[in-house]
Amino acid sequence: MILFPVFIFCPDIPTDIKNLAMDPPPPPPCQFRNWLELPRDVTASILLRLGAVEILTCAQKVCLLWRNLCKDLSMWRKIDMRNLGDLWDMPYDLETMCRHAVDRSCGQLVDINVEYFDTDELLHYIAESSSQVKRLRLVCCYNISVEGLSEVEVAAKLPLLEDLEISYGPLSKEPLEAVGRCCPLLKSLKFNSQGYRRPRIECDEEAIAIAENMTELRHLQLFGNKLTNDGLKAVLDGCHHLESLDLRQCFNVTLTGNLGRRCTERIKYLRSPCDSTNDYEFDAELHDTGSFDDDYPSGFSDIDYFSDDYGHYEFSSDSDDPDYGDFDDYREFYMY
């Protein structure tokens, strides 16, 4: 059998058709997401990333859905009153706003952060209203007196407290003694101040108060403290469960010999006095000067060193919509 080749004629395919077959289809036109269609739990998760100031002055005024979400007590189990603007130029009263946020928690508050504006009266209000608080953070709260946290009426009403931070505020042994006696569950303490080398001032009162009253501590940060080797020994003797210890800028401490060996063997995460401060959240620059003022030996107050990465917010509480009439209660935050 003889085979003959067969030729099939195929017309040329236009170039534009070939390119069309090879190129992927164009993406669909961009569609804008309607935020009101997000599931309620997703919207709540987004709002929880805001601070209390943003929620009370901005977010809850966006629409009624957000307004209702912002009134849910689950939004207020954690209250972050971080100061996001120039305290002296703010048109609203942060203390009034904080009280309102505490009221919204309906006694379910477990975590609160206050910066710059706290007072003895506000601290009393928080303790009276929120017996379930587990974390209390007070930063640059210079209006709190030494007696503010020392009073049994405050410390005794926080029996579940596990995490306490008092940084750049009324630093003394009395609050530590009161909290240690009244808060047996305390596991973490940050008690920080501005560090300096000159003038050389030694004080072990706070370290001894911690050693004698906070024996269950796991984590301790004493940035810039004036304790000496004797104070450190007391802490090691009294706090047998310590896992982390931050002694950065505690320049009266010398981690050599038996004491240094004891720290490295006992403490899993140890920060020495001269360790890097790059990961410290506040300004750690040393400002040693020749000014030996009694209140601020380095010539500056602690507040001068606090990192002030401020933002600025403008607000308007005006609305012609009758459905937003219940927004009027926020005008009480404004001071003028």
pLDDT in tens, 294-306: 444 433 344 343 4
HSE-CB of 18 using CA atoms within 13 angstroms: 4
Taking residues 261-278, report their average pLDDT: 96
- What confidence category does residue 203 fall into, taking pLDDT thresholds of 50, 70 and 90? very high
The answer, yes or no, to whether residue 175 has pLDDT greater than 60, is yes
Which of the pair, 152 or 180, is modelled with greater confidence?
180
Return the exposure string of 129-156: e unless at least 16 CB atoms fall within 10 Å of the residue's CB, then b.
bbeebbbbbbbbbebbbeebbbbeebbe
What are the tens digits of pLDDT across the range 30-78?
566 666 777 878 888 888 888 898 899 888 888 888 898 889 888 999 9
Asked whether residue 108 carries a pLDDT value surpassing 60, the answer given is yes
CATH fold, domain 75-186, is 3.80.10
CA dist 135 and 268 (Å) reads: 23
Tokens found for residue 327 = 């927004």
Q: Which residue has the higher pLDDT, 233 or 150?
A: 233
Query: Can you tell me the mean pLDDT for 311-334?
Result: 43
Percentage above 90 pLDDT, the chain? 47
Q: What angle do CA 100, 105, 111 make, to 5 degrees?
A: 100
pLDDT at position 49 is 87
Comparing 121-125, 168-172, 250-254, 289-293, the range with the smallest average pLDDT is 289-293
At 320, the pLDDT band (50, 70, 90 cuts) reads very low
Q: Residue 4 has what pLDDT? A: 52
Apex 6 CA angle, 2 and 12, nearest 5: 170
Higher-pLDDT residue of 247 and 36 is 247
With 50 as the cut, is the pLDDT of residue 293 above it? no
Burial class (CB in 10 A: 0-12, 13-18, 19+), 158: buried
Looking at residues 219-235, what average pLDDT do you find?
97
* Structure-model confidence comparison of residues 213 and 59, the more confident one: 213
Q: Any idea which of 27-31, 60-64, 224-228 has the lowest mean pLDDT?
A: 27-31
Q: How far apart are CA 138 and CA 163, in angstroms?
A: 11
| % residues pLDDT > 70 (the chain) | 73
Confidence of residue 27 (pLDDT cuts 50, 70, 90): low
What was the pLDDT predicted at 227? 96
What's the pLDDT score for residue 2? 58
The residues spanned by each domain of the chain are 75-186, 187-302
Q: What is the mean pLDDT of residues 309-319?
A: 36
Tell whether the model's pLDDT for residue 133 goes beyond 70: yes
- What whole-number distance in Å separates Cα of residue 228 and Cα of residue 201? 10
Q: Which pLDDT score, from 0 to 100, does residue 11 have?
A: 55
* Among 241, 237, 235, 242, residue whose Cα is nearest residue 209: 235
Give the whole-angstrom CA distance, residue 17 versus residue 243. Answer: 70
